């Protein structure tokens, strides 16, 4: 269990542009309502012509600094996790840190690990804080939508950024981080080779052997490590590649729908559909 690590500020940025699932479905000759009901998603955010993972990361970082009420120069770590770094060689972390005014005395690193690079950054900064090697660290998860035309990801791969500033001063904590657990394997359900414009995935293989095996495996180990049970939590939040997967994960682990409902980021009009599925 971690003793002195917490979030002291966070910020998000989501572009204003939207692409509806129904519009994509209609273009490919599919029934929009069938696709919406299948995914539990009605629309996704897409980047403007002048937006990418770096610009969104800057905006999220600025919002996190406003909440944390610290100087950018106080940051000693900047990690940026993404599947869509603008440069193959030239770190997003240093571009973002420069724009934020961090200075020069900081550790910078770009992380890439489909869907969990930002989470890996949080764990790394938490370790540095617990070891008292740093006082403040910034972690950003940011992605611009990437999807091959006429692919399932075209409906759900969205755009946005979230930034978290972690520290050791309990008086500043917005939320304390008690523990974390990692569950990793070489499961090639999702990939993009160098020079290829769009990621590929193994369709339904991304469900049971990928999402559920890892999310449930990590969650069960975390509950065992902390000696906690689902009923000990007010809310639970799970990775949401579509509307159905997090609900199914919560149900299998023993969480009630009231615990998972506030975390659903699907448009509100899609949530009743999802909750009916949860009760089925």
Q: Which residues are catalytic?
A: 83, 115, 239
Token pair for 51 = 């937006």
**Alpha carbons 59 and 54: distance in angstroms, whole number:** 9
**Alpha carbons 65 and 84: distance in angstroms, whole number:** 23
Query: At 278, is the secondary structure helix, strand, or coil?
Result: helix
Phi then psi dihedrals of residue 160, to 5 deg: 165, 175
**Alpha carbons 161 and 88: distance in angstroms, whole number:** 19
**Alpha carbons 41 and 61: distance in angstroms, whole number:** 27
Task: Identify the sign of the CA torsion 205, 211, 217, 220.
Answer: negative
Q: Are 138 and 79 in contact (CB under 8 A)?
A: yes
């Amino acid at each position: 269990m971690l003793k002195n690590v917490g979030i002291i500020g966070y910020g998000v940025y989501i572009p204003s542009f939207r692409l509806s699932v129904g519009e994509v479905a209609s273009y490919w000759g599919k029934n929009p309502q069938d696709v919406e009901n299948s995914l539990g998603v009605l629309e996704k955010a897409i980047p403007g012509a002048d937006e990418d993972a770096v610009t969104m990361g800057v905006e999220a970082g600025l919002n996190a600094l406003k909440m944390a009420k610290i100087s950018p120069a106080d940051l000693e770590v900047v990690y940026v996790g993404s599947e869509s770094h603008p440069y193959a060689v030239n770190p997003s972390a240093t571009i973002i840190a420069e724009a934020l005014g961090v200075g020069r005395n900081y550790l910078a690193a770009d992380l890439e690990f489909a869907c969990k690079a930002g989470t890996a950054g949080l764990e790394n900064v938490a370790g540095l804080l617990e070891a008292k090697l740093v006082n403040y660290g910034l972690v950003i998860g940011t992605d611009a939508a990437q999807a091959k035309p006429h692919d399932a990801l075209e409906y759900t791969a969205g755009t946005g950024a979230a930034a978290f500033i972690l520290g050791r001063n309990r008086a500043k904590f917005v939320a304390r981080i008690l523990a974390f657990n990692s569950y990793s394997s070489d499961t090639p359900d999702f990939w993009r080779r160098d020079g290829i414009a769009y990621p590929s995935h193994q369709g339904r293989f991304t469900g049971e052997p990928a999402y559920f095996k890892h999310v449930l495996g990590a969650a069960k180990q975390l509950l065992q490590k902390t000696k906690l049970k689902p009923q000990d939590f007010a809310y639970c939040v799970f990775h949401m590649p579509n509307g159905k997967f997090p609900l199914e994960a919560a149900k299998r682990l023993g969480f009630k729908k009231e615990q998972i409902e506030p975390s659903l980021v699907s448009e509100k009009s899609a949530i009743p559909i999802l909750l009916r599925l949860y009760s089925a």
